[in-house]
């Protein structure tokens, strides 16, 4: 299945990945994507109709945890690696309303 | 002369060796070789010696310190330890301190082993040479101009250059087995679900496993007995009995049926590799195993399948490294979107960025069905190949890698070239079966060659049993690399 | 029953198509995928662990109780419960989402179909459900006006969330309100959630569109978020329907967008314009095993279902109490339980209902305690009702007796006596008193004979004065009418 790797596609993927690449990296990535596509085109030789893609990697199901609480981390440990914090909160740059999150 | 793991364990048990002395020697060994190898990213001398003394005191007080008392272990940088840093070989975690120990670390410590160091790796497990570490490459003790393999390159180099320790590694597409073969040591990737992944920084969740690189199959067996077992913190770890792996390694090769898959001797395989591996198979035959040709017909799709699935899972697993709750945060940034994008572009190396974006591509709308679901379907075909073959044989034997260690800088520019060295190891991860590499000789340049053995799911014991039988009949695993902290017994070649 | 609101499509050629997406926090002891406590109101970031913080190397584990609660909700709503289900990753970036993916369910939700029977005025309507699934909640971002940074608290990250998606079956704000109230009630009956909008344990997004009446085709809809009370939800829907009708009447198109409702101004404002559909890149969660729900488990969970609100309502009505009272009782499980206890030992259900719906409810409201804790048992309330029926105390005075019976174990007769409120219902005594009053007030007596009703009350008042308020008013009225032939 011929898929064209456009500049727009590359930019969209980089944006979805939240990685700000340079124009040069964009060019390299475009070539890399094209190689991946070629790499993958061999799949088309195979007949995989009727095969369910969903398999769990081991024979297991219904693996549960009982509803019993365990001690949480201390606030110090929870925030230990936070780049910016204040008074027990993580600090991040101001989130504006229309940023594409779900924000319940 | 430094001792092997089992000798150390026995000596401590009998009182002939203190834990403190054993651990001090382990640290001495690491410090001796590391200036040349750059394998140990952190060494915990003070903490380790303190811990060692504690264990000695508890032995003196009559307590049972555990089956691995006196044994030192190292931890790959992508496994969480409360002590020191856990960087995954990446700038994005260069100052990250984990608030918990991985389950495997906990189990080793409760067995009386002592953590002495952490080992260098390709960033987030992405690489086959340890050249993708943000903290510089590790060198192969057999030839320091060459790579040790990857991503568990630091662990492999130390396993070759020192003796008696357990070196924890992780394997997603060959990251334990391939460096083990390049460094002439034994390395096992257990069955998926055999060892807990809790505390392993996930690369590809359905492929990752923690295992070890050590001096011999028996040493690996001793470690696996402690590492294996269900962990309630990891829903992918199975509740299956842990057999006495050490006992299994004494059963010999007689009666086992081995399959040699024709697809695993590809064009372009190094002739020396082919030669050493065929010789090794011959040894197994002489030891009483029956050998037959088998076929794993979908082998050539394994690499593309691996690239797509591992990329997809990685793109999701690495999304959390965003500079918000931990890790590297770019200094100059504007909005939050900008913060993410800059932290990640500055914190991740080129290979990681590439794979994350390929993974995003694979999962994205419009391509998801063909790429991700497509790869998942092909994965099933690969699994079925193994299920079919394992109805006729108990193990599959082949080379670990089509090539041996290559010069640092050689393949780094062409990622796809680098992916090709994994082609014989990725099927084990895709099929969730155990796989191990055992040294089986060297090339004329003195570069080690590894023979790889695959087993049925949860028959890790059979894999180690074959390896042990081979090692009882040969001496490749006793060969000493030029850079080392131990002396071979008199009469062995150096 | 909340009063019916106006239907903004009335008199227009349009009908409204309303769908609700409700998120309910389950009140399990621990979070969905880790053992941290599930508790509202704790100090920030004190209920976290490597798993819900999304720390490197952490892995989720499924809380069995959350699955059970979710299945019970599905059973109560008549859904098909999936025999095979799984979790999926929903990938997007947001600071309150530590892993930058949410573990949710995509193509194999736990529950499918089903619906809720809802009372709208005196009508019954069934609102269908599309699906119910489980997912984990995100943390909380706090933005203070004027400050350059947002503050993130991850205590809520990982709390189990049930997402209930209705079919677009509602047509008016009233129906939407009725659906929400019934959904909440079912959750309370099942004891799976506190459903408290102020605490965030119930959240609701609304989808609204309009179309020519009877069209049957779905048209462009808008989504309204950040609604924080049932009233605001109804107001927002009403406003949005009007806005869309006005647009169409002016020949304009409705634009697909996400809106925010300002309850003060009563306006909807654009939150986000039409944007590229989010590409969540869903794929099955590789860290969690699939779930297989077998018949045995399902049946045992079905056995734990209580009598649900509609069934209870109908049963109360069959006991002979009026719809209004049945409705009030059913909407408060506590009160309904109290009522049930009373009815077991008393053959006057409507009387009991009156007392529970008025006196008992006032106490629970005023003091913020449950009916079981107001200080009078159902049995003692029954004894009071029987005293009234037996004429021992008048209805008017009975409230005082009630209040004096709270917080003690005194028998009703003793309380009546101690308050001096005993009512006299002795025929001979009352007959004599009435005769005396008639004799003392000949003018009024004449008025009664002429048919003036007010004079009956006047005479009654005189009898009450004469008997110090203890005469049984019903009997007095009868005696006056008998003696005066009025």
Of the ranges B338-347, B480-489, C471-480, which is most confident?
Answer: B480-489
DSSP for A33-73, please give it: HHHHHHHHGGGGGS--TT--S---SSS----EE-S---PPP
Tell me what pLDDT residue C469 has.
Answer: 77
pLDDT at residue C310 in the model? 86
> For residue B373, what is the DSSP state?
I
d(CA C18, CA C165): 11
B4-28 as b/e: b if 16+ CB within 10 A: bbbebbebbbeeebbbbbbbbbbbe
More confident residue, C146 or C318: C318
Q: What is the CA radius of gyration of chain A?
A: 22
Contacts of B10 by beta carbon, 8 Å cutoff, 6+ apart? none
| Domain residue limits at A23 | 7-45
Averaged pLDDT of chain C: 91
Cα separation, C226 vs C204, whole angstroms: 8
Q: Which residues of C touch A82 (CB under 8 A)?
A: none
How confident is the prediction for chain B on average, in pLDDT? 94
Q: Are B216 and B4 in contact (CB under 8 A)?
A: yes
The DSSP secondary structure of B447-468, one letter per residue, reads -EEEEEEEE-TT-HHHHHHHHH
A94 or A84: which leads in pLDDT = A84
B127, B150 contact by CB (below 8 A): yes
CB-based contact B403:B266 (threshold 8 Å): no
Structural domain contains residue A78: no
Report pLDDT digits (tens) over B247-266. Answer: 999 999 999 999 999 999 98
Q: What class does CATH assign to C427-484?
A: mainly alpha
SS (H, E, C) chain C: CCCCCCCCCCCCCEEEEEEEEEEEECCCCECCCCCCECCCCCCCCCCCCCCCCCCCCCCCCEEHHHHHHHHHHHHHCCCEECCEECCEEEECCCCCCCCCEEEECCCCCCEECCEEEEEECCEEEEEEEEEEEEEECCCEEEECCCCCEEEEECCCCCCEEEEEEECCCECCHHHHHHHHHHHHHHHHHHCCCCCCCCCCCEEEEEEEEEEECCCCCCCCCEEEEEECCHHHHHHHHHHHHHHHHHHHHCCCCCCCCEEEEECCCCEEEEEECCCCCCCCCCEECCCCCCEECCHHHHHHHHCCCCCCHHHHHHHHHHCCCCHHHHHHHHCCHHHHHHHHHHHHHCCCHHHHHHHHHHHHHHHHHHHCCCHHHCCCCHHHHHHHHHHHHCCCCCHHHHHHHHHHCCCCCCCHHHHHHHHCCCCECCHHHHHHHHHHHHHHCHHHHHHHHHCCHHHHHHHHHHHHHHCCCCECHHHHHHHHHHHHCC
pLDDT of residue C120: 85
| Chain A, chain C: beta-carbon pairs less than 8 Å apart | 150
Lowest-confidence pick of A83-97, B76-90, C77-91? A83-97
* C-alpha closest to that of C391 among C474, C332, C460, C327: C474
- Asked if B251 contacts B263 with a C-beta cutoff of 8 angstroms, the reply is no
Q: pLDDT at position C411, please? A: 87
Tokens of C46: 């004190």
Q: Give the long-range contacts of residues B280-286, CB within 8 A, separation 24 or more.
A: B280/B397, B280/B438, B280/B440, B280/B441, B280/B451, B280/B470, B280/B474, B281/B397, B281/B451, B283/B470, B283/B473, B283/B474, B284/B253, B284/B258, B284/B397, B284/B466, B284/B469, B284/B470, B286/B473
Residue A89 at interface with chain B, using a CB cutoff of 8 Å: no
State ipTM.
0.95
The owner of tokens 């590297």 is B328
How is chain B split into domains, by residue range? 5-299+379-478
| Residue C129 token pair | 């459900």
What six digits make up the tokens of A74?
């201390």
Tokens standing for residue C312:
């209870």
Residue C167 near residue C118 (C-beta atoms within 8 A):
no
- Subunits close to B (at least 3 CB pairs below 8 A): A, C
C434-477 tens-digit pLDDT: 888 888 988 888 888 888 888 888 888 888 888 877 788 888 88
Q: What is the mean pLDDT of residues C84-101?
A: 94
A17 phi, psi to nearest 5 deg: -85, -5
Q: What are phi and psi of C453, to 5 degrees?
A: -70, -35
| Model confidence at A2: pLDDT above 60 | no
Average pLDDT value for residue range B164-186: 98
Q: pLDDT tens-digit profile of C364-397?
A: 999 888 888 888 899 999 999 988 888 788 787 8
Counting beta carbons within 10 angstroms of the beta carbon of residue B148, is it exposed (0 to 12), middle (13 to 18) or buried (19 or more)?
buried
Q: Is A83 on the interface with C (CB under 8 A)?
A: no
The rounded Cα B100 to chain-centroid distance in angstroms is: 22
* Interface contact C44, partner B, CB < 8 A: no
The side-by-side arrangement of strands in the sheet containing C149-153 is: A85-86, A89-93, C149-153, C140-143
Probe site for chain C from B363, B369, B371, B377 (most C CB atoms < 10 A): B363
Interface with B, mutate which of C50, C57, C151 (most B CBs under 10 A):
C57
Which two tokens mark C484?
């005066």
pLDDT value at position A101?
42
Nearest to A33 among B341, B345, B361 (CB): B361
Query: How confident is residue B326, by pLDDT bands cut at 50, 70 and 90?
Result: confident
- Strand pairing category for C111-112 and C80-81: antiparallel
Q: Looking at B128, B151, B181, B437, which residue is catalytic? A: B151
Report pLDDT for A42.
83
d(CA B230, CA A65): 13
pLDDT of residue B323: 86
Set of chain B residues whose Cβ sits within 8 Å of the Cβ of A90: 324-325
How many helical (H) and strand (E) elements, i.e. helices and strands, does chain A have?
Answer: 3, 3
Alpha-carbon torsion (C395, C397, C400, C402), positive or negative? negative
Return the percentage of chain A with pLDDT > 70, whole number.
Answer: 88
Chain A contact probe: residue of B305, B318, B329, B361 with most A CBs at under 10 A: B361
Angstrom CA distances, C480 to B1, C390, C440, C448, C453, stand at 122, 21, 13, 9, 11
pLDDT > 90? residue C419: no
Give me the percent of chain C exceeding a pLDDT of 90: 61
Is A13 among the domain residues?
Answer: yes
A19 near C CB under 8 A: no
Residue A34, domain member (yes or no): yes
* Res A99 pLDDT > 50: no
Q: Which of B106, B325, B363, B296 is nearest to B210 (CA)?
A: B106
Beta bridge partner(s), residue B293: B260
Q: How far away is chain B from the Cα of A39, in angstroms, using its nearest Cα?
A: 6
Q: Note whether residue A94 is domain-resident.
A: no
Q: Which residues contact C393 (CB under 8 A, 6 or more apart)?
A: C387, C401, C416, C421, C422, C423
pLDDT for B334: 79
**Is B310 an annotated catalytic residue?**
no
Q: Check if the beta carbon of residue B226 is closer than 8 Å to that of residue B220.
A: no
Mean pLDDT value of segment B269-280: 96
The matching CATH number, chosen from 1.10.150.120, 3.40.50.720, 3.30.300.30, 3.90.1300.10, for B5-299+379-478 is 3.90.1300.10
Average pLDDT over residues C22-36: 98
Q: Quote the radius of gyration of chain C (alpha carbons, Å).
A: 30
Q: What dihedral do alpha carbons B232, A77, B321, B336 form, nearest 10°? A: 130
pLDDT value of residue C275: 55
> What share of chain C in percent tops pLDDT 70?
98
- Position B244 pLDDT exceeds 80: yes
* pLDDT for res B416: 61
Q: Is B61 exposed, middle or buried (0-12, 13-18, 19+ CB in 10 A)?
A: exposed
Average pLDDT in the B60-70 region? 95
The sign one gets for the Cα dihedral C106, C111, C113, C119 is negative
How far is residue B206's CA from residue C217's CA, in Å, rounded to a whole number?
Answer: 44
> Cα-flanking dihedrals φ and ψ of residue B306, to 5°?
-60, -45
Number of domains in chain A: 1
pLDDT at C272 over 50: yes
Residue of C nearest to A75 (CA): C46
Examine the pLDDT at C176 and tell me if it is beyond 90: yes
Residue B140, SS3? Answer: strand
Position A100 scores a pLDDT of 38
In 3D space, the residue among B243, B148, B238 whose CA is nearest the CA of residue B197 turns out to be B238
The whole-angstrom separation of Cα C56 and Cα C97 is 14
**How is residue C99 written in tokens?**
């892993």
Residue B45 has pLDDT above 80, yes or no: yes
Mean pLDDT value of segment C36-64: 97
Site of tokens 């869309």: C244
Question: How many CA atoms lie less than 13 Å away from C423 in the CB half-sphere?
Answer: 22
The CATH number of whichever domain residue A18 belongs to comes to 1.10.20
Of A69, A92, A97, the CB nearest to C152: A92
Q: Residues of C with CB below 8 A from B321's CB? A: 56
Q: What is the pLDDT of residue B339?
A: 83
Question: What pLDDT digit, counting tens, does each position of A43-90 carry?
Answer: 888 988 889 888 788 889 999 999 999 999 999 999 999 999 999 999
Q: State mean pLDDT over C145-153.
A: 86
Closest CA to C165 of C106, C242, C90, C240: C106
The pLDDT tens digits of the residues spanning B117-142 come to 999 999 999 999 999 999 999 999 99
Would residue B32 show up in a list of annotated catalytic residues for this protein? no
pLDDT at C306 over 50: yes
Beta bridge partners of residue A74, listed in sequence order: none
Structure token digits, residue B454: 């695959």
Residues of chain C with CATH 1.10.10.410: 427-484
pLDDT over threshold 70, residue B212:
yes
Which pLDDT score is estimated for C368?
86
């Amino acid at each position: 299945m011929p898929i064209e790797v456009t500049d727009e596609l590359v930019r969209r993927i980089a944006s979805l990945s939240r990685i700000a690449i340079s124009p040069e990296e964009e060019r390299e990535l475009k070539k890399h994507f094209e190689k991946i596509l070629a790499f993958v085109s061999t799949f088309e030789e195979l007949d995989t109709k009727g095969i369910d893609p969903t398999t769990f990697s081991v024979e297991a199901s219904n693996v549960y945890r009982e509803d019993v609480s365990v001690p949480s981390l201390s606030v110090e440990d929870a925030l230990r690696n936070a780049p910016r914090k204040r008074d027990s909160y993580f600090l991040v740059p101001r989130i504006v309303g229309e940023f594409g999150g779900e924000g319940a | 002369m430094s001792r092997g793991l089992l000798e150390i364990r026995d000596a401590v048990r009998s009182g002939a060796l203190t834990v403190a002395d054993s651990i001090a020697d382990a640290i001495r060994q690491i410090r001796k070789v590391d200036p040349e190898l750059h394998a140990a990213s952190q060494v915990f001398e003070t903490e380790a010696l303190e811990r060692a003394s504690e264990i000695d005191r508890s032995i003196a007080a009559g307590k049972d310190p555990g089956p691995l008392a006196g044994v030192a272990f190292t931890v790959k940088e992508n496994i969480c330890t409360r002590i020191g840093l856990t960087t995954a070989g990446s700038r994005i975690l260069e100052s990250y301190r984990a608030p918990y120990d991985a389950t495997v670390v906990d189990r080793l410590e409760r067995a009386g082993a002592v953590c002495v160091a952490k080992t260098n790796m390709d960033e987030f497990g992405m690489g086959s040479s340890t050249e993708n570490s943000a903290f510089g490459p590790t060198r192969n003790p057999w030839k320091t101009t060459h790579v040790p393999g990857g991503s568990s390159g630091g662990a492999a180099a130390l396993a070759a250059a020192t003796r008696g320790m357990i070196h924890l590694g992780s394997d997603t597409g060959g990251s334990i087995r391939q460096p083990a073969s390049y460094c002439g040591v034994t390395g096992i990737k257990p069955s998926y679900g055999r060892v807990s992944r809790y505390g392993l920084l996930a690369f590809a969740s359905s492929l990752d496993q923690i295992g070890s690189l050590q001096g011999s199959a028996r040493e690996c067996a001793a470690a696996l007995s402690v590492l294996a077992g269900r962990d309630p913190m990891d829903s992918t770890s199975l509740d299956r009995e842990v057999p006495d792996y050490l006992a299994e390694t004494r059963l010999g090769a007689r009666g086992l049926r081995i399959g040699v898959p024709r697809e695993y001797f590809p064009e372009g395989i190094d002739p020396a590799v082919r030669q050493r591996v065929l010789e090794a198979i011959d040894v197994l035959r002489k030891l009483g195993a029956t050998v037959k040709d088998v076929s794993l017909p979908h082998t050539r799709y394994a690499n593309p399948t691996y690239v797509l699935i591992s990329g997809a899972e990685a793109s999701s697993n690495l999304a959390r490294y965003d500079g918000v709750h931990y890790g590297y945060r770019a200094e100059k940034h504007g909005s939050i979107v900008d913060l993410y994008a800059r932290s990640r572009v500055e914190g991740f190396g080129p290979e990681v960025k590439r794979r994350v974006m390929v993974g995003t591509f694979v999962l994205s709308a419009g391509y998801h069905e063909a790429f991700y679901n497509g790869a998942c379907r092909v994965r099933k075909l690969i699994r079925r190949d193994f299920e079919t073959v394992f109805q006729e044989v108990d193990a599959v034997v082949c080379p670990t890698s089509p090539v041996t260690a290559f010069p640092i800088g050689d393949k780094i520019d062409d990622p796809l070239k680098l992916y090709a060295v994994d082609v014989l190891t990725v099927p084990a991860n895709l099929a969730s079966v155990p796989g191990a590499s055992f040294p089986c000789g060297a090339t004329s340049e003195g570069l080690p060659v590894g023979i790889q053995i695959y087993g049925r799911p949860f028959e890790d014991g059979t894999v180690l049993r074959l390896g042990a039988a081979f090692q009882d009949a040969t001496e490749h695993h006793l060969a000493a690399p030029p850079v080392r902290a131990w002396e071979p017994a008199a009469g062995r070649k150096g | 029953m909340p009063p019916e609101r106006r239907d903004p499509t009335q008199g227009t050629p349009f009908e409204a198509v309303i769908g609700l997406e409700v998120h309910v926090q389950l009140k399990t002891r621990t979070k969905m995928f880790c053992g941290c406590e599930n508790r509202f109101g704790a100090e920030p970031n004190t209920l976290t662990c490597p798993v819900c913080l999304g720390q490197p190397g952490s892995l989720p584990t499924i809380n069995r109780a959350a699955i059970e609660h979710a299945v019970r909700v599905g059973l109560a709503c008549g859904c098909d419960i999936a025999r095979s289900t799984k979790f999926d990753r929903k990938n997007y970036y947001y600071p309150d989402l530590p892993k930058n993916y949410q573990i949710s369910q995509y193509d194999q939700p736990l529950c499918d179909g089903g619906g809720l029977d809802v009372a709208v005025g005196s009508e019954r309507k069934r609102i269908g459900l599309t699906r119910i699934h489980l997912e984990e909640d995100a943390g909380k971002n706090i933005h203070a006006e004027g400050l350059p940074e947002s503050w993130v608290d991850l205590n809520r990250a990982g709390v189990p969330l049930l997402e209930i998606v209705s079919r677009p079956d509602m047509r008016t704000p009233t129906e939407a309100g009725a659906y929400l109230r019934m959904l909440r009630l079912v959750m309370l009956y099942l004891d799976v959630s506190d459903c408290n909008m102020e605490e965030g344990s119930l959240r609701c997004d609304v989808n609204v569109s309009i179309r020519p009446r009877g069209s049957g085709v779905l048209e462009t809809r808008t989504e309204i978020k950040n609604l924080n009370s049932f009233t605001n939800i109804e107001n927002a829907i009403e406003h949005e329907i009007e806005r869309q009708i006005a647009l169409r009447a002016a020949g304009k198109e409705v634009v697909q967008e996400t809106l925010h409702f300002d309850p003060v101004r009563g306006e909807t404002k654009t939150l986000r314009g039409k944007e590229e559909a989010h590409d969540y890149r869903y794929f099955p969660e590789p860290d969690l095993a699939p779930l297989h729900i077998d018949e045995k488990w399902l049946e045992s969970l079905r056995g734990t279902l209580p009598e649900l609100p509609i069934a209870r309502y109908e049963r109360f009505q069959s006991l002979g109490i009026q719809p209004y009272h049945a409705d009030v009782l059913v909407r408060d499980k506590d009160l309904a339980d109290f009522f049930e206890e009373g009815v077991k030992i008393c053959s006057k259900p409507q009387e009991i209902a009156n007392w529970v719906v008025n006196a008992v409810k006032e106490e629970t409201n005023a003091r913020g305690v449950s009916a079981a804790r107001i200080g009078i048992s159902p049995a003692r309330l029954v004894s009071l009702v029987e005293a009234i029926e037996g004429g021992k105390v008048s209805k008017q005075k009975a409230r005082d007796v009630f209040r004096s019976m709270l917080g003690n174990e005194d028998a009703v007769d003793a309380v009546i006596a101690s308050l001096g409120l005993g009512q006299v219902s002795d025929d001979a005594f009352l007959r004599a008193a009435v005769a005396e009053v008639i004799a003392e007030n000949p003018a009024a007596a004449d008025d009664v004979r002429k048919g003036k009703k007010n004079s009956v009350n006047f005479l009654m008042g005189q009898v009450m004065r004469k008997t110090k308020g203890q005469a049984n008013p019903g009997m007095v009225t009868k005696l006056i009418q008998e003696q005066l032939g009025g």
